[in-house]
Amino acid sequence: MRIHLKRYGVAGAATLFVIGGLALALLGAGGIVAWEYSNSNQFCATMCHSVHPEETRAHGMASHARVDCVECHMGRISTLHMMALKPTHAKELWGMIVGYERPLTSHTLRPSRDNCEGCHWPSVEHHDSIALKKRYDTDEKSTETTYRLVLHTGMGTIRESNARGIHWHIENDVEFIATDPQRRQIPWVRVKTADGKVSTYVDTSSKLSEAELKKFTPRRMECFDCHNAVGHPFKNPEDLVDDALASGRIDRSLPNAKARAVALIEQAQKLTGPHKEMGPRIDKLISDAAPKGEMTDAEKKFRAAMKQILVDSSFSHPGLSWASFANHAGHKDSPGCFRCHDGKHLNEKGEAIRLQCTLCHNLPQVEREGGKGSVPSTVAAGLSPPPSHEEPNFMHDHRTKLDDSCTMCHGKIEWGADGGSFCGNPACHGRKWPEMTLDPQARK
């Protein structure tokens, strides 16, 4: 088609140019609006992930609630880079159209330097941080136990040879093989330190042969391989009950408050369905299980707090619960750190990946209400730990290497888990940790 401007005159030609310019401007503005919407949480949650209603809810209650989905799943990268990357996510939309099994982990997270480090720049110096947790027993008084833990987030400057603590994993080159999508099973680890030393560790309990391991491609360890639940964490509802007791949202004067809460959690796990239907069903569950008698203020607070906890912990899909989504930042409810630091990953010399509590945190200090607590070491000034404390298998072997010299720092050696002595720490002994064993015989 040929446009003859003389036919329309100067005014007509100007009008055509204006109309054309406006059309292009509107088209560009529409494209920008569409682009911005495609990067919004609303688009990600309704168009891509309507099969994940709980994740949207969990994200809104998490510490990263103001971090948009694309900032983690695509990274804080340039617009052109993002435009090139976005088509690779189209398979998620196709999966929703044709149907697919609900994934329990993300395969789209970018390297940490493209997302996490946009805020958490690791080149600065990190210090220790303190975690204070209160837990409650299922006795009549809901007896309180306080745990105080000093976390060695990072000692020294990251990405230089003197990095220490948890962020040692950032400074050094760590690769691993995971055999499942959630990376709970890690049979192979390779570490290359700043001095060029390379060590390979293999899980002695793994049934995979060397040839089978070679079929997997090792992946470099990223921040989110441990901090995998920071975006939308699913917390253990019993921990949420403990938080409610600690904050006073559940009144501890109510008899058997923790025990009643635990019983309700067990019953509520059987309920599944749309989120909007869970409120009335949970109201009935709580009412049916409540003791008969006068409705006190403490009882009203209990019911309100438990309804909120149970609704927030509910899932629409049968068979799914908070436990379906492992949180690797720790080792309380899922293996977490013990995926590698379990005492079963050995190198050619028979040395284990160091399972030494104090690498990442100090020994927990425990204070029991109305009972004994932990007893710290009484280390004299200028006294250094013996070389045995630095051995890779120290946590497995320390109980077999006791002598009188131990009492110089730790006092009288009294085994147990009831507190009152250094070796009777309730936070360490008498507990079962996921996927970790301190029994040397179990590694053979």
Closest CA to 104 of 61, 48, 55: 55
Residue 408 phi, psi dihedral angles, 5° rounding: -60, -35
Closest CA to 354 of 337, 376, 334: 337
**Residue 390: per-residue pLDDT:** 80
DSSP 11: H
**Residue 8: per-residue pLDDT:** 56
Integer CA distances (angstroms), 6 to 3, 15, 84, 420, in order: 9, 13, 43, 101
> 165: helix, coil or strand?
coil
Rg (Cα) of the chain, in Å, rounded?
A: 28
Integer CA distances (angstroms), 324 to 94, 104, 108, 336, in order: 24, 7, 19, 14
What CATH number has the domain spanning 5-118? 1.10.3820.10
Total-model pTM: 0.85
**Residue 431: per-residue pLDDT:** 79
DSSP 423: G
**Residue 163: per-residue pLDDT:** 58
Whether the CB-CB separation of 175 and 323 falls below 8 Å is answered with no
176: left (phi over 0), alpha (psi -120 to 50) or beta: beta
DSSP 418: S
Question: Which residues have a Cβ under 8 Å from the Cβ of 70 and sit 6 or more positions away?
Answer: 39, 44, 82
Regions of the chain with pLDDT less than 70: 1-10, 12-13, 48-51, 122-123, 125, 155-164, 380-381, 437-444
Residue 41: which H helix or E strand, with range? helix 41-43
The number of C-alpha atoms within 13 Å of 167 and in the hemisphere containing its C-beta is 23
**Residue 443: per-residue pLDDT:** 42
What is the amino acid identity at position 438? Answer: L
**Residue 51: per-residue pLDDT:** 65
User: Residue 366's Cα: distance from chain center in Å?
Assistant: 23
Question: Which residues have a Cβ under 8 Å from the Cβ of 441 and sit 6 or more positions away?
Answer: none
Q: Which residues pair with 368 in a beta bridge?
A: 145
Q: Which residues pair with 393 in a beta bridge?
A: none
Per domain, the residue ranges of the chain are 5-118, 237-324
